[in-house]
Chain A
Amino acid sequence: SAVISQKPSRDICQRGTSLTIQCQVDSQVTMMFWYRQQPGQSLTLIATANQGSEATYESGFVIDKFPISRPNLTFSTLTVSNMSPEDSSIYLCSVALGVAGELFFGEGSRLTVL
């Protein structure tokens, strides 16, 4: 398994501002993923962030709104840009480990946009 730390754990932000969420892993991992979980919903994959390449975004998510950095094998950031109340969600970082690519998750960053 892996220990995955996310910062901030929660934040309250104003409409139109941007917030950067950090994800730190205690071991080197190739595959890292960012998910969003809106209130009462399941997890939705935002993008895949592999070190050394541009992030790959899922349908409905764009780089201008959710820029991602992956500077090394233990760290990534997700920025939520020009926030609106619809961006209020839990944002989760996850990494794939093991022979079968099991995912391990951080505790999430709970974002509230006013």
Chain B
Amino acid sequence: DAKTTQPTSMDCAEGRAANLPCNHSTISGNEYVYWYRQIHSQGPQYIIHGLKNNETNEMASLIITEDRKSSTLILPHATLRDTAVYYCIFHGSGNTGKLIFGQGTTLQVKP
């Protein structure tokens, strides 16, 4: 199955940018990188996805390296409500549509 590597946990000060890294060295050329987050006791929430170019939406920015082997999710002004587990995922081999979740990064935003 598709494998990503993320730090287990990170802290960020409220109001500062949170930069969450992810390694996905086995990703192939036509596979998207997806980011989700799960706030305690809620279902996972889609954040953003990208293929080659950097992406930005109302929630976050996604920076993908030129070789596509890693990416960084940026929350530009973290708030306490951004405290969650963040998952970096890609489909892996085959176009089955399914996504396999790793352990993710627990982001703790502190006042």
Residues from chain A with Cβ under 8 Å of B103 in the complex: 42
| CB interface residues, A 47-101, toward B, < 8 Å | 48, 92, 94, 96, 100-101
Chain B contact residues: over half helix, strand or loop, or mixed?
loop
Chain A contact residues: over half helix, strand or loop, or mixed?
strand
Q: How far is the CA of A4 from the CA of B43 in the complex (A)?
A: 10
For the complex, is B81 an interface residue (Cβ under 8 Å from A)?
no
Residues from chain A with Cβ under 8 Å of B96 in the complex: 48
For the complex, is A113 an interface residue (Cβ under 8 Å from B)?
no
Contact in complex: B42, A107 (CB < 8 Å): yes
Residues from chain A with Cβ under 8 Å of B45 in the complex: 105
Q: How far is the CA of A10 from the CA of B46 in the complex (A)?
A: 23
Task: State the Cβ distance, B73 to closest chain A Cβ, in Å.
Answer: 15
Contact in complex: A106, B43 (CB < 8 Å): yes
Q: How far is the CA of A112 from the CA of B6 in the complex (A)?
A: 30
Task: State the Cβ distance, A114 to closest chain B Cβ, in Å.
Answer: 21
Taking Cβ atoms with an 8 Å cutoff, the residues of A that contact B are: 1, 4, 31, 33, 35, 42-45, 48, 92, 94, 96, 100-108
Question: When A and B form their complex, which 5 residue pairs have the shortest distance between CB atoms, in order from nearest?
Answer: A105-B43, A43-B101, A31-B97, A100-B32, A107-B43
